[in-house]
């Protein structure tokens, strides 16, 4: 046998099995031996125990170990050919499963009977199905654990992420061969580091992760790989933070008699303690001569915008400009309206009647006419505009600032790091950056996804916020309750209030991208086709205005409307000349209509938990109690229904963001558009591995302070450079 290395193609271990090799290459994306060795099992089944399948789910792909109760073959005729059917009854911890194997020849059926004798143990993989009150495994494949194949198994059977027609034992075999033959697997940890962090060597860890004898070997192997991933990532982030710190920035201390002081003096309310505290922190950071990079988290309505505006005014007082980047046109316009309103004559700089210390606020969005845009751009480049509010249009090359001192990004979730970078590049010296998000982010997620930012949380809501009551309307069991929903809407409107109706789609025609954060992936990340047409804005609006809501003033709002039309509709709703707004999630963030008290979410199960939470934050803003109705066809006990119940049961955003993260695939949490780190996380789970992440962050800081270039650990330095490169190229591709 020739020696193989991590760079060898996987053909080296698949031998003559070209079909399986192709499945591994094309279905799983495994090209090299290194890829194969890092294709870790998804879970493990204990061969010595019966599988726990207490509550199987129909359609679920199961791998179970059971004891054969009985095994019988019988002939049958299919078409005009005689075949054999072997039926095996398996005892598990939970219900019995019956498995049927088909054989074209009698002697194959005989072999099955010999292999799966009563009392033997066997492992089967297949799809759970219910038939005549019993459970079956469909399209099952398996083998006896006491047989020839079983003998080579360790006591914990690895179950791999699979592709069709490639079985877990196929992978197990080739990985075992690869582990026997491979040489030269690099270890990011030097012996000193392994000792310091109490970690296995890479080869030992690979052997134990693919074939552990017991749970403690598995634990030790997992600990090593999780720590490795966490450490590499935290090193990347720590280097970014160090690079930020090394950059110079212009300090913007403000001045005591400027526009900020004037603004504070006329603020119609007291700042909350949180706003004051974070405000002081930001004030100090803006005054320093290296850039602030701060993430400000706070529920919808917690008063983030006021904090951001005060920071912008401080920069204006120091002779600089501040840009506020909003994710949509509607939001940019709303920010313009509300900021202009808050500033009053302080926003009328250079105009007759403007206050002496006033500045000027301009808007720049993609839908503005050429002339208006030119005018804004001129005010931006001359420095006449102290505050610039805009969308992506602000990122265009043609937009130049006189002296950009602060960038505020509203709703980080819609903006990638690279876009932040594009705007900060516009300033000669790096500007200060304040990122605002209404999605509560658990601490370790913030450490991972926003690890290059310092974070602050605005925990309390300003006084006078009314609670929001949320109810699930379960149409699966109670189809007629929908009538009550529309009746409730009419009652609200009769009281003089306004109502949002939110749908996951714009129209029923095919091929359209929904605007929701839809969760239609199954356990293996495959797309599941929806069984029912989803509620669509256009159709729902037509039906409601012809039926249950006839006579009410209503309109539609969605991303496909012309920007002027969207703006007109939003203005009309804000002004109270519309009773009902039927829309997609374009209203998700920031839109602020105090008189809107009720939100009806149709097909609510199509939205993510955090998204639902954000959406309902649109109501109950004006001191009037809010009502949110989550209308869904999801069945009792389904994960979708559980999600809705979770949203209905609490208004604690942090709690919900945990639920959300637990239900999503990690890749979505660390979406490439947010961090560029998606591909570098294989074993790490940001919630489960909190301790590991915290430990890795401390370790990264310590390692870099001892050895900034990681010269003592060259393999580790290579791994860090690799992630830096792939994160950077991820940004490039998207640009
Ligand atoms: P966010 O941006 O976090 O969603 P905003 O800053 O838009 O929240 O604030 C929501 C509403 O609450 C606005 O109408 C704002 O004027 C008001 N507000 C902000 N801070 C306070 C406060 N300390 N006391 C009372 N009302 C406040
Ligand atoms: Mg806001």
Rounded to the nearest angstrom, the distance between the alpha carbon of 303 and the centre of ligand 2 is 7
Higher pLDDT, 235 or 160: 235
Task: Specify the pLDDT at position 207.
Answer: 95
Ligand 1 neighbours by CB, cut-off 6 Å: 269-272, 275, 298, 300-306, 462
Rounded to the nearest angstrom, the distance between the alpha carbon of 259 and the centre of ligand 1 is 19
Q: What DSSP assignment string belongs to 402-471?
A: S-EEEEEEE-GGGS-HHHHHHHHTTSSSPPEEEEEESS---HHHHHHHTTTSEEEEE-SPPTTPPPEEEE
Q: How far apart are alpha carbons 270 and 280 in whole angstroms?
A: 15
Rounded to the nearest angstrom, the distance between the alpha carbon of 587 and the centre of ligand 1 is 18
Rounded to the nearest angstrom, the distance between the alpha carbon of 335 and the centre of ligand 1 is 12
Q: How far apart are alpha carbons 393 and 276 in whole angstroms?
A: 32
- Summarize pLDDT for 550-565 with one digit per residue, the tens: 999 999 999 888 878 8
Q: How far apart are alpha carbons 442 and 214 in whole angstroms?
A: 33
Residue 41's alpha-carbon distances to 23, 38, 52, 156, 212, in angstroms, are: 17, 9, 18, 11, 11
Task: Specify the pLDDT at position 329.
Answer: 83
Residue 562's alpha-carbon distances to 108, 485, 566, 567, 569, in angstroms, are: 67, 30, 6, 9, 11
Task: Specify the pLDDT at position 415.
Answer: 53
Rounded to the nearest angstrom, the distance between the alpha carbon of 460 and the centre of ligand 2 is 15
Rounded to the nearest angstrom, the distance between the alpha carbon of 343 and the centre of ligand 1 is 14
Residue 71's alpha-carbon distances to 24, 116, 147, in angstroms, are: 33, 7, 16
Of the listed ranges 133-142, 452-461, 556-565, the least confidently predicted one is 452-461
- Summarize pLDDT for 208-235 with one digit per residue, the tens: 999 998 889 999 999 999 999 999 989 9
Instruction: Please report which helix (H) or strand (E) contains residue 442, including its range.
Output: none
Helix (H, G, I), strand (E, B) or coil at 550: coil
Structure letter (DSSP) for residue 182: B
Nearest CA to ligand 1 atom 15: 303
Task: Specify the pLDDT at position 663.
Answer: 62
Nearest CA to ligand 1 atom 10: 301
Helix (H, G, I), strand (E, B) or coil at 351: coil
Helix (H, G, I), strand (E, B) or coil at 317: helix
- Summarize pLDDT for 629-652 with one digit per residue, the tens: 999 999 888 888 988 999 999 887
Task: Specify the pLDDT at position 714.
Answer: 95
Helix (H, G, I), strand (E, B) or coil at 217: helix
Task: Specify the pLDDT at position 33.
Answer: 95
Beta-sheet pairing, 321-325 with 468-474 = unpaired
Task: Specify the pLDDT at position 521.
Answer: 40
Higher pLDDT, 509 or 659: 659
Is the pLDDT confidence value at 331 over 80? yes
Q: What percent of the chain has pLDDT over 70?
A: 84
Task: Specify the pLDDT at position 523.
Answer: 39
Beta-sheet pairing, 468-474 with 498-502 = unpaired
Task: Specify the pLDDT at position 190.
Answer: 95
Residue of 462, 465, 614, 616 to test ligand 1 pocket, by largest number of atoms within 8 Å of CB: 462
Is the pLDDT confidence value at 616 over 60? yes
Helix (H, G, I), strand (E, B) or coil at 586: helix
Q: What is the mean pLDDT of residues 683-690?
A: 72
Q: How far apart are alpha carbons 659 and 644 in whole angstroms?
A: 11
Confidence of residue 524 (pLDDT cuts 50, 70, 90): very low
8 Å CB contact between 50 and 93: yes
What residues pair up with 143 in beta bridges, in sequence order? 123
Question: Best-predicted range by mean pLDDT among 20-24, 171-175, 305-309?
Answer: 305-309
Is the pLDDT confidence value at 658 over 80? no
- Summarize pLDDT for 37-96 with one digit per residue, the tens: 999 988 887 766 656 666 777 877 777 888 899 999 999 988 888 889 999 999 887 888
Q: How far apart are alpha carbons 254 and 318 in whole angstroms?
A: 5
What's the N-to-C CA distance of the chain in angstroms? Answer: 47
- Summarize pLDDT for 82-101 with one digit per residue, the tens: 889 999 999 887 888 999 99
Q: How far apart are alpha carbons 680 and 360 in whole angstroms?
A: 45
φ, ψ of residue 579 in degrees (nearest 5): -90, -40
Strands (E), 463-535: 468-474, 498-502
**How many Cβ atoms are within 10 Å of 531's Cβ, its own excluded?**
6
8 Å CB contact between 67 and 120: yes
Q: How far apart are alpha carbons 228 and 670 in whole angstroms?
A: 18
Q: How far apart are alpha carbons 137 and 59 in whole angstroms?
A: 9
Higher pLDDT, 602 or 441: 602
Helix axes 690-706, 215-246, angle to 10 degrees: 50
Is the pLDDT confidence value at 675 over 60? no
Residue of 263, 295, 305, 408 to test ligand 1 pocket, by largest number of atoms within 8 Å of CB: 305
Task: Specify the pLDDT at position 387.
Answer: 97
Nearest CA to ligand 1 atom 9: 303
Tell me the longest C-alpha to C-alpha distance in the chain.
99
Q: Is the dihedral of CA 485, 488, 494, 499 positive or negative?
A: negative
Q: What percent of the chain has pLDDT over 90?
A: 43
Cite the DSSP H helix spans in 61-167.
Answer: 106-115, 148-151
Is the pLDDT confidence value at 150 over 60? no
Q: Is the dihedral of CA 272, 278, 279, 284 positive or negative?
A: positive
Q: Give buried/exposed letters for 33-57 (b at 16+ CB in 10 A, else e).
A: bbbbbebbbeebbebeebbebeebe
Residue of 267, 276, 301 to test ligand 1 pocket, by largest number of atoms within 8 Å of CB: 301
User: Which ligand 1 atom minimizes the distance to the CA of 272?
Assistant: 23
Q: How far apart are alpha carbons 418 and 426 in whole angstroms?
A: 13
Confidence of residue 401 (pLDDT cuts 50, 70, 90): very high
Q: What is the mean pLDDT of residues 119-137?
A: 86
Q: How far apart are alpha carbons 455 and 472 in whole angstroms?
A: 34
Task: Specify the pLDDT at position 670.
Answer: 45
Nearest CA to ligand 1 atom 26: 462
Question: Best-predicted range by mean pLDDT among 72-81, 172-181, 305-314, 411-420?
Answer: 305-314
Task: Specify the pLDDT at position 320.
Answer: 95
Joined together, the tokens standing for residue 594 give 């105090």
User: Which ligand 1 atom minimizes the distance to the CA of 594?
Assistant: 14
In sequence order, what are the residues at sequence separation of 6 or more whose Cβ sits closer than 8 angstroms to the Cβ of residue 198? none
User: Which ligand 1 atom minimizes the distance to the CA of 304?
Assistant: 3
Residue 442's alpha-carbon distances to 268, 358, 446, 610, in angstroms, are: 33, 39, 6, 12
Confidence of residue 301 (pLDDT cuts 50, 70, 90): confident
Task: Specify the pLDDT at position 604.
Answer: 95
**How many Cβ atoms are within 10 Å of 24's Cβ, its own excluded?**
26
**How many Cβ atoms are within 10 Å of 495's Cβ, its own excluded?**
10
Rounded to the nearest angstrom, the distance between the alpha carbon of 619 and the centre of ligand 1 is 14
HSE at residue 425, side-chain half, CA atoms within 13 A, is 12
Helix (H, G, I), strand (E, B) or coil at 22: helix
């Amino acid at each position: 046998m020739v020696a193989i290395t991590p760079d060898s193609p996987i053909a080296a271990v698949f031998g003559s099995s070209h079909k399986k090799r192709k499945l591994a290459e094309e279905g799983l994306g495994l090209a090299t031996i290194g890829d194969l060795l890092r294709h870790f099992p998804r879970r493990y089944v204990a061969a010595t125990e019966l599988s726990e399948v207490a509550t199987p789910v129909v359609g679920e792909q199961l791998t179970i170990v059971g004891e054969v109760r009985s095994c019988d073959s019988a002939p049958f005729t299919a078409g005009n050919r005689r075949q054999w059917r072997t039926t095996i009854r398996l005892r598990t911890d939970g219900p019995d499963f019956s498995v049927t194997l088909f054989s074209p020849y009698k002697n194959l059926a005989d072999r099955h009977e010999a292999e799966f004798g009563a009392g033997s143990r066997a492992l089967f993989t297949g799809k759970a199905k219910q038939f005549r009150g019993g459970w079956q495994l469909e399209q099952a494949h398996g083998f006896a654990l006491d047989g020839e194949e079983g003998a080579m198994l360790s006591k914990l059977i690895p179950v791999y992420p699979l592709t069709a027609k490639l079985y877990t034992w196929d992978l197990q075999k080739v990985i075992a061969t690869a582990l026997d033959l491979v040489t030269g697997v690099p270890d990011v940890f030097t012996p000193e580091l392994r000792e310091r962090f109490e970690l296995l060597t890479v080869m030992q860890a690979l052997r134990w992760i693919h074939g552990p004898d017991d749970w403690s070997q598995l634990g030790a192997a997992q600990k090593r790989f999780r720590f490795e991933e966490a450490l590499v990532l935290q090193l990347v982030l720590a280097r970014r933070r160090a690079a930020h710190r090394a950059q110079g920035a212009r300090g913007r201390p403000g001045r005591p008699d400027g526009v900020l002081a004037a603004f504070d003096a006329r603020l119609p309310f007291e700042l909350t303690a949180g706003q004051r505290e974070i405000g002081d922190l930001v004030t100090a950071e803006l005054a320093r001569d290296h850039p602030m990079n701060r993430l400000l988290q706070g529920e919808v309505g917690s008063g983030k915008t006021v904090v951001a505006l005060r920071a912008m005014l401080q920069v204006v007082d120091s002779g600089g400009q501040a840009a506020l980047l909003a994710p949509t046109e509607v939001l940019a316009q709303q920010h313009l309206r509300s900021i202009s309103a808050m500033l009053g004559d302080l926003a009328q700089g250079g105009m007759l009647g403007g206050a002496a210390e006033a500045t000027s606020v301009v808007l720049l969005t993609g839908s503005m006419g050429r002339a208006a845009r030119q005018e804004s751009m001129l005010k931006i480049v001359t420095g006449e505009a102290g505050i610039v509010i805009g969308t992506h249009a602000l990122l265009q090359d043609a937009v130049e600032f006189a002296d950009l001192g602060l960038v505020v990004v509203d709703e980080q979730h819609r903006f990638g790091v690279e876009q932040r970078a594009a705007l900060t590049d516009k300033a000669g010296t790096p500007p200060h950056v304040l990122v605002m998000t209404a999605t509560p982010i658990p601490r370790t997620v913030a450490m991972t996804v926003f690890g290059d930012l310092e974070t602050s949380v605005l925990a309390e809501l300003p006084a006078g916020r009314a609670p929001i009551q949320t109810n699930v309307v379960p149409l699966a069991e109670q189809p007629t309750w929908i009538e009550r929903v529309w009746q409730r809407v009419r009652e609200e409107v009769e009281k003089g209030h306004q109502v949002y109706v939110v749908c996951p789609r714009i129209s029923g025609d095919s091929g359209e991208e929904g605007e929701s954060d839809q969760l239609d992936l199954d356990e293996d990340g495959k797309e599941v086709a929806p069984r029912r047409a989803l509620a669509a804005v256009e159709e729902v609006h037509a039906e409601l205005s012809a039926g249950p809501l006839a006579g009410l003033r209503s309109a539609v709002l969605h991303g496909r409307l012309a920007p002027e039309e969207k703006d007109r509709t939003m203005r009309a709703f804000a002004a109270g000349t519309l009773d009902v707004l039927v829309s997609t999630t374009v209203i998700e963030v920031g839109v602020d209509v105090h008189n809107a008290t009720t939100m009806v979410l149709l097909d609510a199960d199509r939205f993510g938990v955090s998204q639902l939470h954000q959406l309902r934050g649109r109501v109950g803003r004006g001191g009037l109690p809010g009502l949110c109705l989550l209308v869904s066809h999801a069945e009792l006990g389904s994960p979708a229904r559980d999600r809705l119940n979770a949203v209905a049961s609490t208004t604690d955003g942090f709690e919900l963001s945990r639920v959300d993260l637990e239900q999503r695939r990690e890749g979505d949490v660390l979406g490439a558009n947010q961090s560029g780190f998606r591909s570098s996380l294989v074993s790490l789970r940001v919630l489960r591995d909190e301790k590991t992440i915290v430990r890795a962050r401390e370790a990264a800081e310590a390692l870099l302070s001892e050895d900034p270039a990681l010269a003592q650990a060259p393999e580790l330095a290579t791994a860090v450079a690799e992630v830096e490169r792939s994160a950077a190229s991820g940004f490039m591709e998207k640009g």
